[in-house]
Amino acid sequence: MTRLLNSLMPASNSYMCARIQTAEPHIPRNAGLAELRKAAARCKACDLWKLGTQTVFGEGSEHARVMLVGEQPGDKEDRQGRPFVGPAGAVLDRALAAAGIDRDDVYVTNIVKHFKWEPRGKRRIHKKPNVVEITACRPWLDAEILVVRPEVVILLGATAAQGILGRSFRVSQSRGQWLDSDIAKHVMATGHPSSILRAQDDDTRHEEMARFVDDLRKAAAVFHRLKAAS
Ligand code: URA
Ligand code: SF4
């Protein structure tokens, strides 16, 4: 267990400054998901709670074999308080269906639990979380992992992948491969559904979607094998 806890510390320890505040003191011990969610709703470990409407905690079964980790909630997620319910979520749902994974079988969460944005006219434009925010929020993800104990973890996009695997990790070089990580037996990084939405033309978008589905299919194969063996 100590090894697991150690392994769940940020991979980025080397650039962590001792003064960075984290959510660690707010995590209830031996808590289930419901209690964690309640505690996370009150989290003020970084400044993002001031920007977002509410904490968007992960969602799914405590016994899910597969966990998907995104970056942070978007505009819709912030309003609804649920992960991946906006346009990126729609892409994710389509890709999961195409790969043969039922969303009910997965636990979906983000590496940062509040929406970071800046105003552009009347719109709220997504802004990438920085290392202080990612480090602050990481204990919530670690707590989710300790409770759910997923066998398969899929990291969606560079923010989640680098948050877990270290800043030198490149999704472009290593996507779709099974990686060595102590957070779960089977860990893979792939693209982010939002980047599919941002593709410059239809052909690129279709290609990106096909690559994303291909990666998820590899996860589906492992998932179905594990399910059949249990
Ligand atoms: N993008 C994410 O990374 N997470 C969400 O929950 C929604 C969009
Ligand atoms: Fe807490 Fe994470 Fe929200 Fe920051 S982003 S206030 S660490 S829940």
Q: What is the pLDDT of residue 7?
A: 47
Q: What is the domain count for the chain? A: 1
pLDDT digits (tens, 9 = 90+) for 36-46: 999 999 999 99
Which bound ligand lies closest to the C-alpha atom of 23?
2
Q: Which ligand 1 atom is at minimum distance from the Cα of 156?
A: 3
Q: Is the CB of 114 within 6 Å of ligand 2? A: yes
Q: From the CA of 20, how far away is ligand 1's center (Å)?
A: 24
Instruction: Give per-residue pLDDT as tens, 101-119.
Output: 998 899 999 999 999 999 9
Mean pLDDT of 149-155: 98
Residues 6+ apart with CB under 8 A from 208: 191, 195, 196, 199
Query: Residue 30 burial by CB count (10 A; 0-12/13-18/19+): exposed, middle or buried?
Result: exposed
pLDDT value at residue 6: 47
State if residue 56 touches ligand 2 by the CB under 6 angstroms criterion.
Answer: no
Q: What is the pTM of this model?
A: 0.92
Domain at 57, CATH number: 3.40.470.10
Task: Please give the C-alpha separations between residue 62 and each of 6, 38, 108, 160, 162, in angstroms, as whole numbers.
Answer: 22, 15, 11, 21, 25
Dist CA 145 CA 139 (whole Å): 10
Give ligand 1 pocket residues (Cβ under 6 A): 70-74, 77, 83-84, 86, 88-89, 110, 194
Beta carbon of 23 within 6 Å of any ligand 2 atom: yes
Q: Are strands 117-120 and 123-126 parallel, antiparallel or unpaired?
A: antiparallel
- Domain of 16 in residue numbering reads as 2-229
